[in-house]
Structure 1
Amino acid sequence: MLVNVSLAVAVAASLLGSAAAAPLVAVKQLVERKVNASPDFNITFSSSHTDGLPRTLIMATGGTIAGSSASATDSTNYRAGSIGVAALVDAVPQLLNVSNIDGMQVSNVDSGSITDDIVLLISKLANKALCGSDPEYDAVVVTHGTETLEETAYTLDATLMCDKTVVVVGAMRPATAISADGPSNLLEAVTTAVSPASHGRGVLVVLNDRICQALYCAKTNANALDTFKAYEQGFVGGPLSTKPFFYYPPSQPTFKTVYDLSNVTSLPRVDVLYSHQMATFDGVNASVANGAKGFIGAGTGAGGISPWAKQNLAYVMSQGIPVVASTKINNGVVAPDEDPAAGSYISSALLNPVKSRRLLQSL
């Protein structure tokens, strides 16, 4: 049920060549499974079992980390989601020194094509893999395109029902690039995921030798390798020689709430409205007619919305449709409105518009 409360409270040849360094020990090769190991997971590739190593489920969704281009120097014009999970793992044999690996292909698309159904499926699979009475896995790693990575990572953080570790990882350069960052990112992600020191920290994002909590982490640059950051809160750690080094003991935000989606079959439609000078949001009624169940205002400053837009939003709120006031700046706090006459907007607190959308869908 959507409730009107403050969210502050509710709340590839080149690839193979680049990673073909000799492993530290003899590495078991991937083998194709003829029969799925579990009816809950569509496992298509699995490493041979090594006693004493933890077990990691890699859910691949596509993205730049699985992308390919005709040129090894081209890191902008490429096809995302060209390489499957088996090739990703096989390109980094060092992975099998730190964990036994099962891989499943949830999707193989650019992250702009990730749907609510895919995200809901990943959440349910992660909970099945880690949070049951007899979990099959010790950790989950999700490979993902970077454009919407923070949305999926935050959704998992808000819906994972145990303190096991999920790491979401991507790359800023395709697998075929001469300086592809995917192999090292994947190795660091799996190594971080299976580390006991990672437990109790929520879902983590690992890229570019940095470890970031999903609740705070956001993409800050369209092209640079060091794009995922948490400006206000900072990183929680970074891999040193692939092994995670954390700056602080495990902790969770004081306002964090986890939502159980196990009985949810679909997420409601919530639209994000981008504010600007003289914004009207005239299309909200059409959105409602087409099934929108809520709106996020990506406002100016600390959630500012123009008076013309407020008129349209006041009308949809009068129909019981929730509206969250957030900020397109992506940093800072949108506080609850203390003026009752101003309307009943929900405060996004410190969540940016896309994370506010995911939380509103989960309430």
Structure 2
Amino acid sequence: MQKRIHILAMGGTIAGSANDSSATTGYQAGAVGIVELMAAVPQVKEIAEVTGEQLAAIDSKDITAAEQLQLVSRVRELLLKGDVDGVVITHGTDTMEESAYLLDLVHFADKPVVITGAMRPATALSADGPLNILDAVRVAAADSARDRGVLVVLNNEIHSARLVTKMSTTAVETFQSPVGGAIGAINDGVVVFYHGAELHHLPNALSVSEKLTSQKELPYVPVLYGHSDDDGRLVKLVADEGAKGIVYAGMGNGSIPARVEAELGAAVEQGIVVIRASSSISGMVTKAEASYEEAGFIASGLLNPRKARLLLQVALVCGKSAADLRKFLA
């Protein structure tokens, strides 16, 4: 019996349309609907019983928290259904890693959830979208993909939502996992995983996902990017604007300039949660200066700033403490 895979379309480059088939920029993202996307890959019928729906038709750079929460809610509904064995999501690449990680945080089932996209629009010569969709369905239908959390599949590679990031502005091999590498691949149609599953969803993910379905927005948590001569004025600005948390993307191992450190310390005293992340592409943010620990800053571990932001937002919604966050990120 074939597996039953449901595809959710969110728009993005994979559904992009341009007037010239040689164009890979200047296209309209999300212009091609789910019916056309599925029709371009008739081979999926040989792999699974595939259904689809259009959840959004946006350029992912414009995605809002409300739209991400709608995606969380719909995926939750599908995972709870007995007649769905796996979910595939087509999504724009600019914020794919963020939506993937948000879904991974609240992934409560052993059913695969696979996110894919494309770097070339659907109308382009050598468009990469159709094969990515086919590979995503292959992974979602594979027994070996069960109980692995949310997976990101592009360019014949399988990555974990927690570690993957977009490395290149335009290359089709843009999605990489600098720490750990890809966890698997699709080799001539065969799904292969290199090692066992390592899950990183939040405790009580089912109830956390239910909590998120009642939300229309997420708490204001900006990411501030560290640089030379940073005087910390932006920390004070966002604190005054009502930030509930701050992710500071520092240098190296989450290093923070002294003036910024003072402002972040004042923010913690006001009840604002501060996560210390890094603007570096690779590596783990660990304990560093004793003053950071004394101030109550939380190291982001392996999470990049954008994912640390989402974790903090979800934690704030669910009433998680700073101690809970430290334990989760350790």
Would the TM-score normalized by the shorter structure come out above 0.5?
yes
1:203 counterpart = 2:154: no
Residue 164 (str. 1) matches residue 111 (str. 2): yes
CA distance in 1, matches of 2:189, 2:118: 16
Aligned residue number for residue 45 of structure 2:
96
What does residue 32 of structure 1 align with? Answer: none
1:261 to 200, 209, 221: 209
Match of 1:247 in 2: 194
Percent of aligned pairs with the same amino acid:
38
Greater length-normalized contact order (CA 8 Å, ≥ 6 residues apart): 1
The structure that has the greater radius of gyration is 1
CA distance in 1, matches of 2:148, 2:49: 23
Give the unaligned 5+ runs of structure 2: 316-330
Post-superposition shift, 1:288? 3.4
- Alpha-carbon distance between aligned partners in 2 of 1:281 and 1:62, rounded to the nearest angstrom: 37
SS at match of 1:75: coil
Partner of 1:301: 252
Aligned residues: 308
- TM-score, normalising length from structure 1? 0.81
Relative to its length, the structure with more helix (as a share) is: 2
TM superposition outliers: structure 1 runs of 4+ over 3 Å: 255-259, 288-291
* 2:326 corresponding residue in structure 1: none
Instruction: Tell me the alpha carbon deviations over residues 115-161 of structure 1, each in whole angstroms, 9 at most, x when there is no partner.
Output: 1111122122212211x3x5331101111111111111111111111
Counterpart CA distance in 2 for 1:115 and 1:103 is: 22
What is the distance in 2 between the residues matched to 1:291 and 1:61?
30
Letter in 1 for 2:94: E
Q: Are 2:277 and 1:326 equivalent residues in the alignment?
A: yes
| Alpha-carbon separation, structure 2, partners of 1:326 and 1:127 | 29
Partners of 1:123 and 1:160 within 8 A in 2 = no
**2:305 aligned to which of 331, 350, 353:** 353
Moved more, 295-304 or 228-237: 228-237
Which of residues 47, 55, 69 in structure 1 aligns to 2:4?
Answer: 55
Letter paired with 1:205: V
Listed as ranges, the matches of 1:1-363 within 5 Å are 52-130=1-79, 132=80, 134-248=81-195, 250-252=196-198, 257-258=202-203, 259=205, 260-264=208-212, 265=215, 266-337=217-288, 339-340=290-291, 342-363=294-315
Specify the alignment match of 1:42 in structure 2. Answer: none
Which stretch shifts more, 175-184 or 334-343? 334-343
Question: Residue 177 of structure 1 aligns to a residue in which SS?
Answer: coil
- The Cα of 1:337 is off from its aligned counterpart by 4.5
Cα offsets for 1:32-60 (capped at 9, x unmatched)? xxxxxxxxxxxxxxxxxxxx222111111
Secondary structure, in 3 states, of the residue corresponding to 2:130?
helix
**Structure 1 residues without counterparts, runs of 5 or longer:** 1-51
Q: TM-score, normalised by structure 2?
A: 0.89
Native 8 Å contact 1:141 1:167 kept in 2? yes
User: For each residue in 1:7-45, what CA deviation from the matched residue of structure 2 results, as whole angstroms up to 9, or x when unmatched?
Assistant: xxxxxxxxxxxxxxxxxxxxxxxxxxxxxxxxxxxxxxx
For 1:188, the aligned partner's letter is: D
Separation in 2 of the partners of 1:99 and 1:294?
43
1:214 CA displacement: 1.0
- Looking at structure 2, the residues matched to 148 and 352 of structure 1 have their Cα atoms a distance apart, in angstroms, of 13
Distance 1:309 1:284 in 2: 7
